[in-house]
Amino acid sequence: MSRRAIPYSRRLAAVFLAALLAPAAAACGPTAEQVARRTAEATAAPAVTPAPQQPRIRTAEPEPSPSPTETMSVGVSGSQASMAQDVQDACQWLLQRDPRPFPSDQSGDCLAAAMVAGTGAAQSVSTTASWLPPGTYSMEFSTSPDFAMELTSADKSLEITVDGGVRTLRTGENASVTANASGSPEEAYAAVLVDAAELTSNPDRVRGLLESANPAAVEYDAVYDGTPATRLTAMVEADEPGDFTGSLVLVLDDLYRPLAIEYVGKTRGIESAIRAKITGWAASTQPR
């Protein structure tokens, strides 16, 4: 059977149609040749090393506050080895040599405890203007187990005794008056004088002096009569018009007992002062 001839015009139309369909076939997906070429390129391309990650920066956080710790107690040695335990407890501020002003309540407790532990001593007292009549006095006093004292003026014209809670004023005429702030004018006046006499010797009164003042500046390496000492200096401000305003200075020995007390200022605008030099404390006290 003879082969049927395709007219030339129809062959030309088929070529033309194939040319039109080629782009559409390419758009539908890669040809085998394209796939092979891309595979070869991927195999030959070097592996790309990923960029290292930057470390994460933590936001700064506040440091935790240290938990409060209890202040360690300081012991004693050397010249302070005989200090009574209650004095050590009350006077930690001084034993630690804290440079800040000594709080009024703590300084009062410290001095009172030290005076009680000292059991007693002697004083030479001088006064001007208010409190006791101006002059010089001698005193012997005890602080334990109870407070007692006897003060006598240099000319023997005035004597004050405190014994067993009984407070008595005697004058040169041998007149005797019991001190009583709520009693007669004579008894009330006697109470004023006895209060003044106790100001530098009664541990409770010394505590009251310090508590009435501002916190005391402390000088740890002071010298008094050639011996090492501690000096407290505090200012007293009047609570009411006319009340005392001035300074309070105490010089302490190594067991914190007062060697000198000075109270200087004005009362009702009048210069007033009382100064006491204290000697004869016991050489030592046994820890309790």
CATH number at residue 195: 2.50.20.10
**Is residue 9 situated within a structural domain?**
no
**Is residue 2 situated within a structural domain?**
no
Instruction: Give me the number of domains the chain comprises.
Output: 1
**Is residue 263 situated within a structural domain?**
yes
**Is residue 47 situated within a structural domain?**
no
pLDDT in the model for residue 173? 73
User: Which residues form the domain of 213?
Assistant: 78-279
Q: Which of these, 115, 77, 107, lies nearest to 90 by C-alpha position?
A: 107
Which residues neighbour 105 within 8 Å (Cβ) at sequence distance 6 or greater? Answer: 211
SS3 label, residue 83: coil
What are the pLDDT tens digits along the chain (288 aa)?
444 444 444 443 443 334 333 444 344 444 445 544 554 454 444 444 444 554 444 444 444 444 444 557 888 888 889 899 999 999 999 999 999 999 999 999 999 999 999 999 999 999 987 678 999 999 999 999 999 999 999 999 999 999 988 999 998 776 899 999 999 999 999 999 999 999 999 999 999 999 999 999 999 999 999 999 999 999 999 888 878 899 999 999 999 999 999 999 998 888 889 999 999 997 655 544
pLDDT in the model for residue 285? 54
Q: Is 180 left (phi over 0), alpha (psi -120 to 50) or beta?
A: beta
pLDDT in the model for residue 282? 79
pTM score, two decimals? Answer: 0.73
**Is residue 54 situated within a structural domain?**
no
**Is residue 208 situated within a structural domain?**
yes
Gap between the Cα atoms of 274 and 129, Å rounded: 9
Gap between the Cα atoms of 149 and 157, Å rounded: 17
**Is residue 138 situated within a structural domain?**
yes
Gap between the Cα atoms of 282 and 280, Å rounded: 6
The answer to whether the beta carbons of residues 218 and 231 sit under 8 Å apart is: yes
Neighbour order of strands in the sheet with 166-171: 176-178, 166-171, 158-163, 148-153, 135-142, 120-128, 270-279, 258-267, 245-252, 227-236, 217-224
Residue spans of beta strands (DSSP E) within 179-244: 217-224, 227-236
**Is residue 127 situated within a structural domain?**
yes
